[in-house]
Amino acid sequence: MSNEQLDALREQLDGVNMQLLELINERARLAQEIGQVKSTAGQKRFDPVRERNMLDMIAENNKGPFETSTLQHLFKQIFQASLELQEDDNRKALLVSRKKKAEDTVVDLKGEKVGDGQQRLIMGPCSVESYEQVYEVAKAMKEQGLTLLRGGAFKPRSSPYDFQGLGKEGLEILKQVADELDMTVISEVMNPQDVEMATKYVDVIQIGARNMQNFDLLKEVGSHNTPVLLKRGLSATIDEFIKAAEYIIANGNENIMLCERGIRTYEKATRNTLDISAVPILKQETHLPVLVDVTHSTGRRDLLEPTAKAALAIGADGVMAEVHPDPAVALSDSAQQMDIPQFQAFLESLRETGLYKL
Ligand code: PEP
Ligand code: MN
């Protein structure tokens, strides 16, 4: 074959490529339009019956030289890409997404702002055990200028025989200490029916990992103005985590903080595997503040400091860690809470490295 012949054929091929390009994009535009019509009508995007009809049509009209199976494979790729395009459009529309709102959401906790560029620390005991226990931790925090106090009153325990928390009495203790020391309280609620009551005692409602997809609870906290700290589920993907936050915002509450707390993997060296890259991904994909819980992700006291540094270095808006006056006798998470001198050393170390600035 002469060079001229080859050039001519290649020129024809380029022309066909350009026609295919036009046609594929034309098809994509139509698929997008169909997606919009379906979404307005509340119909599902993927329609297997319609896909089967299209594949049959290709088989009936195929004159070769491609095998029908080859063509069906190629067309399935195109169908899949179109479906993803419709999903992209859908993601754009998520209220928590950066695409929807470019500026960072800043959650105001009684004047202390989370997500304003200043990194914060949320600390306190795993469970509220007594007034004295909470007061001792809170006082040590206050002396260091920290005001965001966590403590569990409703505890999600793996075993029903383990300490379940003090319930409402625990919330009362938290509120009393917070009022006395002028602090902000963060505490978990597990039951949608307790949300209303809890908002009278706490400044932030925490949704724990085990309840990340408790959709009734998400809807309920979404219908209040109280800020919400939403933790990532034990086996939740980032996409599922984002959609859980969407449940809250879609019900009217925009004051949401996301908290990466480790996910379950095969690794046994830590209690969970801290997915540190979730932080920049969540910051890119959403406009919400992102925190890292170093206690529940690692489950190891010796890893709290290095992982907190990693969280601050990667751009988390805050770090959560647990502190107990005497972790050895703590009613929950005894192996991973810091005692007060360890908490002071932890803070000093973060400040020394310049990572924590307050
Ligand atoms: C907690 O923060 O008290 C807690 C139980 O954490 P998680 O839901 O992340 O396990
Ligand atoms: Mn705990």
Ligand 1, closest atom to CA 262? Answer: 9
Annotated domain spans of the chain = 1-90, 107-353
Q: How far is the CA of 189 from the centre of ligand 2 (A)?
A: 14
DSSP three-state, residue 113: strand
Q: Which ligand is nearest to the CA of 152?
A: 1
Q: How far is the CA of 297 from the centre of ligand 1 (A)?
A: 9
- Which residues form ligand 1's pocket by a CB distance below 6 Å? 126, 152, 156, 188, 208-210, 231, 261, 293, 296
For residues 99, 101, 103, 105, the Cα torsion angle rounded to the nearest 10 degrees is -120
Helix, strand, coil content of the chain in percent (nearest 5): 50, 15, 35
Return the best residue to mutate from 187, 188, 204, 205 for the ligand 1 pocket (most ligand atoms within 8 A of CB).
188
Q: What is the pLDDT of residue 46?
A: 84
Instruction: Compute the distance between CA of residue 246 and CA of residue 218 in angstroms, rounded to an integer.
Output: 9
Return the best residue to mutate from 128, 231, 272, 332 for the ligand 1 pocket (most ligand atoms within 8 A of CB).
231
Q: Cα–Cα–Cα angle for 348, 335, 178, nearest 5°?
A: 60
Among the listed residues 156, 167, 161, the one whose alpha carbon sits nearest the alpha carbon of residue 129: 167
Q: What is the pLDDT of residue 284?
A: 97
Q: What is the pLDDT of residue 43?
A: 86
Q: How far is the CA of 299 from the centre of ligand 2 (A)?
A: 9
Q: How far is the CA of 110 from the centre of ligand 2 (A)?
A: 24
Q: Which ligand is nearest to the CA of 125?
A: 2
Domain 107-353: CATH superfamily is Aldolase class I (3.20.20.70)
Ligand 1, closest atom to CA 293? Answer: 9
Q: Which ligand is nearest to the CA of 153?
A: 1
Q: How far is the CA of 209 from the centre of ligand 1 (A)?
A: 6
Q: What is the pLDDT of residue 293?
A: 98
Full pLDDT tens readout for the chain, 358 residues: 789 999 999 999 999 999 999 999 999 999 999 988 988 898 888 888 999 999 999 999 999 999 999 999 999 999 999 888 877 665 568 999 999 999 999 999 999 999 999 999 999 999 999 999 999 999 999 999 999 999 999 999 999 999 999 999 999 999 999 999 999 999 999 999 999 999 999 999 999 999 999 999 999 999 999 999 999 999 999 999 999 999 999 999 999 999 999 999 999 999 999 999 999 999 999 999 999 999 999 999 999 999 999 999 999 999 999 999 999 999 999 999 999 999 999 999 999 998 898 8
Q: Which ligand is nearest to the CA of 295?
A: 2
Number of H helices, E strands in the chain: 12, 10
Tokens of 38: 């379906």
Q: What is the pLDDT of residue 88?
A: 65
Q: How far is the CA of 23 from the centre of ligand 2 (A)?
A: 56
Q: Are 182 and 148 in contact (CB under 8 A)?
A: no
345 membership: H or E segment, kind and range: helix 340-352
Q: What is the CATH number of domain 1-90?
A: 1.20.59.10
Per DSSP, which regions of 127-269 are E strands? 148-150, 184-188, 204-207, 228-231, 256-260
Whole-angstrom CA distances from 355 to 103, 290, 312 are 24, 16, 6
Give the chain's radius of gyration (CA, Å): 26
Ligand 1, closest atom to CA 211? Answer: 8
Q: How far is the CA of 335 from the centre of ligand 2 (A)?
A: 10
Return the best residue to mutate from 122, 235, 261 for the ligand 1 pocket (most ligand atoms within 8 A of CB).
261
Give me the residues paired with residue 113 across strands.
Answer: 108
Ligand 1, closest atom to CA 155? Answer: 5
Q: Which ligand is nearest to the CA of 155?
A: 1
Instruction: Compute the distance between CA of residue 33 and CA of residue 229 in angstroms, rounded to an integer.
Output: 37
Q: How far is the CA of 208 from the centre of ligand 1 (A)?
A: 5
Amino acid at 154: F
* Tokens 């009022």 -> residue: 179
Q: What is the pLDDT of residue 91?
A: 57
Q: What is the pLDDT of residue 92?
A: 62
Ligand 1, closest atom to CA 231? Answer: 9
Q: How far is the CA of 276 from the centre of ligand 1 (A)?
A: 17
Tokens of 81: 């890409």
Instruction: Compute the distance between CA of residue 171 and CA of residue 185 in angstroms, rounded to an integer.
Output: 9
